[in-house]
Amino acid sequence: MSGLVGRMFREFALTLTIAVVTSAIVSLTLTPMMCSRLLKHAGEEIAVPGLAAISRSIDRMVNFYHRTLLWVLERQRATMLVTFATIVATLIMYVVGAQGLPAPAGHGIDHRG
């Protein structure tokens, strides 16, 4: 692509590439190291201050996720309807949004001001 839109997509692609590479580096190096330091073996006490509070908050989040997952699974038809409606709305926005892109430089815009 050329012009303003091409420049924007090129910069976005660079940003996305840097984000993916950084995420890969963190997930392959920092995450295993943190797990080896913070996770305890059976029968071992937690030695990190404040980790018990974090563990309780994670347990609350897991319980909330469990309750909401059960709620959604009890309403499978409604969930599928919302999913398909979201897909349709996304496709409509894609078609409508494609018409809103700026015109290529020098085509139909008077820059003489």
pLDDT tens digits, residue range 2-28? 677 777 788 888 899 999 999 999 999
pTM over 0.85: no
Q: 90: which 2 tokens?
A: 């996304």
pLDDT (average), residues 71-95: 94
Q: CA-to-CA distance for 15 and 36, rounded, in angstroms? A: 31
Q: What is the pLDDT of residue 71?
A: 95
Residue 20 Ramachandran class (φ > 0 left, ψ -120 to 50 alpha, else beta) = alpha
Arithmetic mean of pLDDT over the chain: 82
Q: What is the pLDDT of residue 75?
A: 96
Q: CA-to-CA distance for 58 and 64, rounded, in angstroms? A: 10
Residue 93: count of CB within 10 angstroms of its CB? 10
Q: What is the pLDDT of residue 68?
A: 94
pLDDT in tens, 44-72: 665 677 777 888 899 999 999 999 999 99
